[in-house]
Structure 1
Amino acid sequence: MTNTPETDPTTGPTSAAPTPNADNAAPVLDERTFTGIPQPRSDRRLPLGDGTWHQLARSYVWVRLISVTALLVIVLAAAVVLSLVSQAPWPWVPGGVAAVVLAWTALITPRQARSFGYQLRADDLVFRRGILWQRMVAVPYGRMQLVDITHGPLDRAFGIAQLRLVTAAASTGVVIPGLTQDAAERLRDTLIAVAETRRTGL
C-alpha cells in the first residue's frame, strides 16, 4: 500500500512535503532484499499497518551464518583444547551449552532476518524486528543527530552495511543491519536531508 506523493522524503521536494511510500520511491532500497515480513499467528501481534515496508538484503543471512559457524568452531576447538589440557570432561559442559545456543541461533537466522523491516513515513522512520519478541520504534526525522554507516570485512565481501541512527534519547536509537551498500548510502543521504529540513522548519 502506498501513500500520496506529498510526503515522500526519498523522492525529493516534488511538492509541499515528501512521501516515503510512493511507487517510484527509492527502488534501490528494495534491490536484492526479502519480500515479506513473517508475523506471529497471534491476533495480539504488533500490526504492520499501512505503507511500504523495506527489508534487509538476502545476503545478510549468509553473513550471519558464517559468523555464527565461525564462533561455533572456536567454541568447540576451545572445549577440545581445555579438555585435553585438563584431562577432564568438564570443558564440554559449557562448550556443549554454547554449541547448542549457537546451533539454535543459526537455525532461526533466516526467519529472524526476514522479521526486520523499516518504513519511511511522513514524519518519522519506523523500525521493527522480532517474531516472538517484537520491537517497533518510531524515530522522528527532526530528532536524528547522527546517521552512521559501518561494515566489516565480511560485510564488504557480501556487499552489505549497517546503518545506525542516533537521537538525543538513547532508547530511540535504531540500528538497521544487513542493508545493501547502495541502500545504506541512499537511506543515509535521504534521512540527513529530511532531518535538516525538519530541524530548520522548512
Structure 2
Amino acid sequence: MTNTPETPLPDSTRRATDADAAAGRDEVLDAATFDRVVEPRSVARLPLGDGTWHQLARAYVWVRMISTAALLAAVLVVAVVLHVWLHQPWVWIPAGVVSLLCAWTLVLTPRQARAYGYQLRRDDLVFRRGILWQRIVAVPYGRMQLIDITHGPLDRGFGIAQLKLVTAAASTGVTIPGLPQEAAERLRDTLVDVAETRRTGL
C-alpha cells in the first residue's frame, strides 16, 4: 500500500486559512458573516478593544431590506386606495413620513448591520451595536437566566435566527439578530455549557 503525497494548498488558500487562524475566526460562528466590525469615524468613538469580534450574517441585510420594502409598498398601496376611492388626500402626509423613514432605513441598513458584533471573553459576552448611538454591553455568564432562539418565516428562508439573552436585570439583556442558524445554535450550546460550569440557574 503506497502513501500518496499530500497535495499542498494553493498559496491564496493557505494565506486565507492562516489569516483566519491569526484573526481567531471560527468556521461556524463566522460562516457567511461580514469580515470586520465597522466603527464610527469620530475619534471619540467607543474602542473595540482586544479579542475576536464575531459578526452578523450577510443575509440579515437582505431580510431587513425585504421587510422594509414590503412595509413601504403596503403603506403606498393603502395611501393610493384611500386617495383614489375615498378621496382622502391628507393620507399622503403620514404616508410620506413613513416612506421617508423606510427610505432612510434602506440606506442605513447595510452599514448598520456591519456595526453589530459580539465577543466571547473569559467571564462574559460583550455585545456592541450602533454608529450614531453606540452601545456596548457586557453580560456576565453567571447572570444569564434564559437563552432564546427565534426566527420568522423570512429568517428561515435565509437561514438566520435571533438569539436573546435574558438576565436578572432587564437593562443588561442582549438580543443578537441575524446570526446564521448553525452559529445561533452553537452559541446557545456554548453559553449553556459555560453557565452550567459556573453553577448558574439555566
Shorter-normalised TM-score: what interval?
0.7 to 0.9
Secondary structure at the residue paired with 2:29? helix
Which whole-Å CA distance do the structure 2 matches of 1:27 and 1:199 have between them?
A: 29
The CA deviation at 1:26 is 4.2
Q: Aligned runs of 1:43-122 on 2, under 5 Å?
A: 43-122=43-122
Which whole-Å CA distance do the structure 1 matches of 2:25 and 2:131 have between them?
A: 27
- Which residue identity is paired with 1:80? V
Cα 1:65–1:34 change in 2 (3 A) is: same
In structure 1, what is the equivalent of residue 32 of structure 2?
A: 32
The CA deviation at 1:117 is 0.1
In structure 1, what is the equivalent of residue 197 of structure 2?
A: 197
The CA deviation at 1:27 is 2.5
Which whole-Å CA distance do the structure 2 matches of 1:24 and 1:65 have between them?
A: 30
Which whole-Å CA distance do the structure 2 matches of 1:92 and 1:24 have between them?
A: 51
Which whole-Å CA distance do the structure 1 matches of 2:24 and 2:97 have between them?
A: 48
RMSD: 1.6
Instruction: Report whether the alignment pairs 1:131 with 2:141.
Output: no
Which portions of structure 1, spanning 4 or more consecutive aligned residues, are displaced by more than 6 angstroms?
21-25
- Range with greater deviation from structure 2 (134-143 or 34-43): 34-43
TM-score, length of structure 2 as denominator length:
0.85
Contact 2:24 2:52 in 1 (8 A): no
The CA deviation at 1:88 is 3.1
1:85-137, Cα deviation, whole Å (9 max, x unpaired):
43131100110110011011011100000000000000000000000110000
Long gaps (5+) in structure 2: 1-20
Count of residues in Structure 1 that have an aligned counterpart in Structure 2: 180
